[in-house]
Amino acid sequence: MRRLVASQELLLVLLISLQCLSCLAIANPALDRQAEALLQWKSGLRGDLSYCGLEEWSNATSPCNWSGIYCSYKVRRGHERDAILVVTNITLFSCNISGGLSKLRFAQLPRLVFLDLSINSLYGPIPSDIDRLAELSYLDLSNNKLTGSIPPSIGNLRSLIKLDLSTNEITGSIPESIGNLTSLQNMDLSNNRIIGPIPSTFSKLKSLITLKLESNVLNAILPPELGFLRNLLF
């Protein structure tokens, strides 16, 4: 009799657990929107999508289970006791993919912290709405075929620690707004077609340790403001 009661209690606990999991899935529309945004971007990609497991991305599974995608629990603003699962990391370097970034809707990925799409064949401009990634600390788009100029909106990524746009086909000048990235420690803009002067606003990058600007068409004169960057290693 006791075994039967214990079995019934265990079954009840399992049923309650399943109901709770179902409620969590329904109560996280943000993750659904993120999955939709990632699938839309995938639809415009070309190349061997099986190389990094992108062919397995589908609505049948959570994006947290997709290859190259990582999730974390984040506290919702104004709801300190609640936490939701969101995409915080996209790591798809050297995946033999080509396509643009315009279909990657950054507005649906506001809690993204880490974005590495380096060593691929991505082309086109860097979308100006990249500043919607307000919590981004690591951005590596190096070794692609990106064109256009660096959007001034990139200066709104105040949490950025690493910025690597090297070895692309980026043109135009360096926006002065990059001086707003006061947490930046490593910046690499080398091997592009960037023109013009190094902005004097670089003097505000007090945390900067490494700066690579070679193989561009920049003015040869270094601004004296760089002398104020005590942590910078030349």
How much is the pLDDT for 84? 87
Residue type, 146: L
**Residue 178 CA to its chain's centroid (Å):** 17
Residue pair 94/117 in contact by the 8 Å Cβ criterion: no
Strand partners, 84: 74
Torsion of CA 54, 58, 60, 64, to 10 degrees: 60
What DSSP letter does each residue of 128-163 carry, written as one string? GGGGG-TT--EEE--SSEE-SBPPGGGGG-TT-SEE
As a whole number of angstroms, the distance between CA 67 and CA 54 comes to 7
How high is the pLDDT of residue 227?
Answer: 76
Helix, strand or coil, per DSSP, at residue 12: helix
The SS3 of residue 43 is helix
pLDDT of residue 234: 59
User: How many whole angstroms separate alpha carbon 46 and alpha carbon 148?
Assistant: 21
Q: Nearest-CA neighbor of 30 among 135, 109, 131?
A: 109
Cα–Cα distance list, 165 to 123, 131, 140, 187, 189 (Å): 12, 15, 6, 8, 5
| Binned average pLDDT, 10 residues per bin, the chain of 234 residues | 46 42 56 95 94 94 96 72 87 96 92 97 96 97 98 97 98 96 97 94 92 91 77 75
pLDDT of residue 224: 79
Q: How many CB atoms lie within 10 A of CB 70?
A: 14
Its pTM stands at 0.85
- Dig out the tokens for 186 from the structure: 């490593």
CA atoms within 13 A on the CB side of 21: 6
Name residue 224's amino acid.
P
> Whole-angstrom Cα distance, residue 44 to residue 38?
10
**For 53, left (φ over 0), alpha (ψ -120 to 50), or beta?**
left
What's the pLDDT score for residue 170? 98
Confidence (pLDDT) at 80 = 54
Which DSSP string corresponds to 70-83? Answer: EEEEEEETTEEEEE
CATH of domain 32-228: 3.80.10.10
| Residue keyed to tokens 């649906």 | 108
Q: Where are the domains of the chain?
A: 32-228
Pairing of strands 186-188, 145-146: unpaired
pLDDT of residue 28: 80
